[in-house]
Structure 1
Amino acid sequence: MPAAPPVRRAAVLGSPIAHSLSPVLHRAAYRAMGLAGWTYGRFEVDEEGLPAFVAGLGPDWAGLSLTMPLKRAIIPLLDELSATAASVEAVNTVVLAPDGRRLGDNTDVPGLVEALRERGVTRVPGAAVLGAGATASSALAALARICDGEVTAYVRSPARAAEMRTWGERLKVAVRTEDWSLAHRALDAPLVIATTPAGATDALAAAVPAAPGTLFDVLYDPWPTALAAAWSGRGGEVIGGLDLLIHQAVLQVEAMTGTAPAPLKEMREAGLAALAAR
């Protein structure tokens, strides 16, 4: 009788975490890839509890996915950072090497680029970013790879504006900032990336132009947002948060399992089914 495959563990950590679709996506990948013995869990962990959780990981652990508020809190606990993670000071992926080293990476940035590429957006002459949080810095890092011109960031405070300009300097992106009261002007950009919480852009739906470009709204639940619905209603291309979640998860699966390619189609089908069931 053949021996059972060794158990390999991975999980997503964050707070709150109950809403996360990551287990659905990763488990779908394991099934499609025939990775018997691989498990993927979900743990409610805040910044205070993170060091103890990481210290308690055994040799059966292969990797961690990290969501808010842990993407920066994890950095002091790591042995190595990828260039992408270091550039935005945010880690959403930890690969636990066989020798015990903890390797931090950021798949949000290439995930953004891949989600855009899938819809045919490979270069843009300019862009607008709505918001200024951690996802906005990842958006700027992605735009550094595909944007030929200026990025305008619409923010709510002078402090946030200063942060975005600093990120632009670090990432070598020309960033201009505007007050949130002028956010309707963002909608004329060829590419708009909305990184704000649910409801924050609803008031902009009425200002969508007659011939909009591409909207990348990082939310996926509830979906569509009022802005996304108005955008698609005007014939514009809309990319949603599920697209980002899937593409970054594909890269996580490949990094944690050491096997590529991860099954994009099966992961997307599982994610769509899970959202439809909510």
Structure 2
Amino acid sequence: MKKKAIVCGLLASTLLGGGTFVDAVSAAEIQKTNHLNKYDSAQEKALQDINQEALQDIDQKVNKMIDSIPPIFGSKYTRTDRYGESLTYSGINLKENNSTNVEPMYFGSNTFYNDTELEQSYNTTSFSEAVTKSTTTQTQNGFKSGVTTGGKVGIPFVAEGEVKINLEYNFTHTNSNTTSKTTTLTAPPQPVKVPAGKVYKADVYFEKKSTSGTVELYGDLLTGVVAEGRTSFVGNVLHKATDTQGLIQSPEDSNKVRAVGKGTFTTEHGSNFIVKTYDVTSGQKSAKLVDTRVIPIK
């Protein structure tokens, strides 16, 4: 009774404030969602104009919005920094726009010959390979403002069943940014049962995935507005404006107004090995797939 196993060569491959204010609106009155739902015609036009702007001037938008608020008792609304100003960046991945391609990365193969009269069990070889995963992000429509703030923000991308990837964006310029990380992955030995008189071949792959998609970028500005000696946060007078400039009340803080931009990304990832076993008793040209096994990477 004899067992024979032939190991095929490994092919190398790489992957790449405080104070008292009027017109206060409770945050609970704002729908807690990151998606934009309803716009008036002026907002629709302003959002379409975003496509023509590489960097939106948030200050200019806010000032124009304030100028469009009807005067109160003959007194125009003006912007004030009496209670300070701040600008916060954030964003979300629009998952419905994601597109993922799978490109299996070959690690190696084993061929097992069972010339006995009984079913035999074999193990594949442990294969290792250096794998490079890259992520590229680009801000298509970002922001500029005289309010000082950090320009870089990480937006989480979580592939199904995988660890979180941080998509880093610089909201203040439109250059693309690419980061890469190389790690060595090892596919552990896997059992393969070969029937009597059969020849089986097991191919081992890394399930490399590449996902491209879009993100919504948010710039939330906190500033003050004053008229007739009464001061309000800018978010609490937005509804008075006849020209909102595409701004909305921030779902995160009703005192702020939000400008919306967008960005793109492509990221390489993967968390599984694939072992495909073929019956090649009648030769490689007549190979028949008999088993596919998914092995999570630990």
Q: Same fold (TM over 0.5)?
A: no
Interval of TM-score (by shorter of Structure 1 and Structure 2) = under 0.3
Q: Answer 1 or 2: higher relative contact order, Cα 8 Å, separation at least 6.
A: 2
Higher percent of residues as strand: 2
* Richer in helix (by share): 1
TM-score (norm 1): 0.22
Given the two structures, how large is their TM-score scaled by the length of structure 2?
0.21
